Structures are given as C-alpha cells and as structure tokens.
Amino acid sequence: MTTTPHHTDDAPDASQLVGRGRDLAALLVRLATARLVCLTGLPGVGRTRLAREVAGQVRRDVVWESAACYEPEMLPGVGARLRHRFAGVRGPLLVLDDIDHLGGAGTALVASLLLDLPELTVLVVAERPCHLRGESVMVLRPLAVRAAPGDDRPSEALQLLRAVLGDAAVDRDPEGAARLCRRFGGVPGPLLEAARAGTAAGADEVGPEQRAAAARSYARCSRVERLLWRRLAVFGDGFRREAAAEVCGGGRLPASEVPVVLDRIAPHVLIRDPETARYHVPPAQLAVAQTELERSDEWWSVVLAHRYRAPTGAES
C-alpha cells in the first residue's frame, strides 16, 4: 500500500480512533457491499484518519492516491498508471483522497476506472460525493460532545482530548475543556488545534489550518450555495430549517429553494444536533461566512431579515 502525506483533515497527532468504532465497522461493511464508497464530512472531522485505518484492515491489495497535488490535466496519466497497476489483480481497493478540487474531472476518473476494472472497489475521501450510480455515501459525524445517558465515561470529544493531550492537561480545567468541545462541535481537527494553541472557550480565534480549509470549501461551492452559506452568518447560536428559509430566502435564492441547498451543503459546512434538530455553523465556517457577507451588498438586508423574521418562532 502506498502512503499519503499529512492532510489537514486529520485530527492532529491523534494516536487512536476515539469514538470511531461504529464508523469503522460501518465503513468496512460498505466496502464489502458496494464498488464505490464516498466518505464525506466537515473539514477536520477525521475522514482521512478513518480511511487509513480501514485501508490497514481490509484484506485486499490497497493503493492510496492523495490527489492534493493533482491538476485535471494530469488525470489521464494517473488513470493509465492505475489501470496498469490493477491489471489482473483480484478485488483491489483504490483510496482516492482529497479530490474535491478536481471537480468533474475527478468524478470522470472514478467512473472510467470502475467501468474498465470490474474487480475494482474505490473509496473516495472527499467533502462531497461523486453522484455516480451505485455510490454508497457515508457522512462522518463529529464526535459527541455530551455523554450518552447512563454512560459514566466522558463524552467522545473529551476522550479524544485526554487521549491526545493527556489526562493532566484536561484535569487542570475540565469545565473549560468541555466548553471547548462544545464550541468546536466535537470536530477533531479544529478542537485539537484550538486546545494545543490554548484557545479559551468562547474566544474568537480560529486556527489558520481550519480557516484555510473552510475557505477552500466555500470557494468550491456553487453560486447559490455560497449565497446561503454567507447568509447563515447571522445565526450565531444555531437555527432550525424553518428559520433558514425565512431569513436566508430571497433574490437569487427563493425561500422555497433554501431547504434543498441547505441539504447539499450541510454535510460539509454545518453541524446538526441530533437531539434538538438545530444546525450550528462551526467557528471556521462562521468566520468565512461573516467575512463574505460583510464583503457583499446584502449585509443589512440579511441582518434585518434575521431581526424581524426569526422572532416569529421559526428559530426556536
């Protein structure tokens, strides 16, 4: 199996897959039952780390390709090399990491490889699925920031902090550690980056790696997706779907279309609380949204819409 360089999607220095047992098992099942599996989720949620663990456990000939340095014009050569590599191999697994920037060219590469190599299984690690027939999409959730009812153990996010930073570091300020987990929604990458930097809970700083990852994600969105993303900046403490439609609809994005666009961007932009069904914009994504909204010509219109429409009950 070939290796890949460090990727910003990894949880920094995470020595174990804390809280990922069920995700690991689910991904292994998908790879056993589908030829194309896409592992998606927020930047920093740990997609690459989980994929590495899976690649090490499957009993297959595995090739890992990090596409971070590829350009679309390079893909015909990449495809030819992979076809030669897999010729005559039974049941191989190709892991394609970080292909979002390749757009349709990356999707075309995946489709052609699956067509030409009937024995091949492909695991795509990306923010968005390929939208190809037969694709099995798995959205990697953030770690839980609250312990399960009746479970005496700390939350998954706190367990990660203890595993990476050590018990002593967490025990010095357990309440602060818990607030930090909530602030970053249990997303390992930004959580650990903030903890290592000593970011206080509630501080405005966002780590440069996570801010850059969010900016890249924003740039890859379509026009209406970027429009909704930046309008969501007015929700500082979470929102429901109804509130997003009331506040963010209008102009080039009618209110009736907001739920559709929200569903498209939610897996790689937002955190959804399963208990309350409220969405939250993580700090890095919120910082990008605020910057872009301030640059636009609709700052005051969105702020006023939030002020006058949200109190009707749609946000509660």
Q: What pLDDT, on a 0 to 100 scale, did the predictor assign at position 195?
A: 87
Q: What pLDDT, on a 0 to 100 scale, did the predictor assign at position 1?
A: 43
Residue 305: pLDDT band by 50, 70, 90 thresholds?
A: confident
Q: What element of type H or E holds 139?
A: strand 136-139
Taking each helix axis from N to C terminus, what angle separates 241-248 and 223-231, rounded to the nearest 10 degrees?
Answer: 100
Residue 146 has pLDDT above 60, yes or no: yes
Least confident of 14-18, 235-239, 312-316: 312-316
Q: What pLDDT, on a 0 to 100 scale, did the predictor assign at position 311?
A: 53
- How big is the chain, counted in residues? 316
Token pair for 313: 């009950």
Q: What's the average model confidence in pLDDT over 145-160?
A: 88
pLDDT in tens, 17-49: 899 999 999 999 999 999 999 999 999 999 999
At which residue do the structure tokens 């399963």 appear? Answer: 274
pLDDT in tens, 257-304: 999 999 999 999 999 988 888 999 999 999 999 999 999 988 888 888
Q: Is 62 left (phi over 0), alpha (psi -120 to 50) or beta?
A: beta
How many Å apart are CA 19 and CA 96, to the nearest integer? 24
Fold assignment, 21-139: Rossmann fold (3.40.50)
Q: How many CA atoms lie within 13 A of 134 on its CB side?
A: 12
Is the entire prediction scored with pTM above 0.85? yes
Greater pLDDT, 303 or 130 = 130
pLDDT in tens, 193-232: 888 887 444 344 678 888 999 999 999 999 999 999 999 9
Q: What's the average model confidence in pLDDT over 73-99?
A: 96
Token pair for 219: 């740039």
| Class of domain 221-312 as given by CATH | mainly alpha
How many Å apart are CA 290 and CA 300, to the nearest integer? 12
Residue 5 has pLDDT above 50, yes or no: no
Rg of the chain's alpha carbons, rounded to an integer?
A: 20
